[in-house]
Copies of this chain bind each other. A is one copy, B any other.
């Protein structure tokens, strides 16, 4: 795997990608695309049996090498780990995985959102953002933030051969954000673009509320493209 300061960084295609919360829509959609691209994928869930069921289903759809495990098993088996966890339980689950995630690249894609009769809105987060919360909980991991705006529906539909989306990758560790950008690039159509330091993650997470409002108004699965890059 990638090592801070090492001369050669192994390609993301040789890495094992863990998806904590891989039974949820967002994690599952990304896992389908990564499996399809030939990456080794481990689905994590609190319940190992449900993780294995989801893994079997993803393998059926996308082929490739997909297995399931409980969250700790998923984290241990993986080189880089997507935390696609519900916001409720985000902190608690990450705390329980501190040892397994030490030294690894962790990608937080969690959007802390609330919904009321007026629609979606961003929840305040004491640490600033879900990603910064992860960074505080996991001081020995290399925490990045990315994949906030993906449409689970579009990702899961492999008849969509070109996913029209830029993935903003945030973090203070250049090598880690480069690896995560590569992980975005393996999805056809998607570009991984550096999107700033982790302290600027809140607005990227919160912007998902705007995309949901756009989806409702325009009956779309809206995503972002960055122009002039």
User: Is A218 positioned at the interface, with any CB of B under 8 Å from its CB?
Assistant: yes
Copies in the complex: 2
Q: Can you name 30 A-B pairs with beta carbons within 8 Å?
A: A118-B197, A118-B199, A119-B196, A120-B196, A120-B200, A121-B200, A193-B218, A194-B213, A194-B214, A194-B218, A195-B210, A195-B213, A196-B209, A200-B206, A200-B209, A202-B206, A203-B203, A203-B206, A206-B206, A207-B207, A211-B226, A218-B229, A221-B228, A222-B229, A223-B226, A224-B224, A224-B226, A224-B227, A225-B226, A225-B227
Contact string against B for A residues 98-113, beta-carbon threshold 8 Å, 1 for contact and 0 otherwise = 0000000000000000
A222 touches B213 (CB 8 A): no
A165–B199 Cα distance when bound, in Å, is 25
Known A-B contacts A225-B225, A227-B165, A227-B225; the reply to A210 vs B220 at CB < 8 A is no
Contact string against B for A residues 181-217, beta-carbon threshold 8 Å, 1 for contact and 0 otherwise = 0000000000001111101101110110111011001
Residues of B within 8 A of A228 (CB): 164, 218, 220-223
Residues of B within 8 A of A120 (CB): 196, 200
**Min CB gap A220→B, angstroms:** 4
A154-193 CB contacts (< 8 Å) to partner B: 164-165, 168, 170, 193
A214 touches B193 (CB 8 A): yes
User: Is A37 positioned at the interface, with any CB of B under 8 Å from its CB?
Assistant: no
A202–B210 Cα distance when bound, in Å, is 11
User: Is A122 positioned at the interface, with any CB of B under 8 Å from its CB?
Assistant: yes
**Min CB gap A172→B, angstroms:** 8
A122 touches B227 (CB 8 A): no
Known A-B contacts A118-B197, A203-B122; the reply to A222 vs B214 at CB < 8 A is no
B227 touches A222 (CB 8 A): yes
A225–B118 Cα distance when bound, in Å, is 25
B168 touches A210 (CB 8 A): yes
- Using CB atoms, name the residue of chain B closest to A122: B203
A71–B196 Cα distance when bound, in Å, is 36
A223–B226 Cα distance when bound, in Å, is 6
Contact string against B for A residues 113-138, beta-carbon threshold 8 Å, 1 for contact and 0 otherwise = 00000111110000000000000000
**Min CB gap A26→B, angstroms:** 17
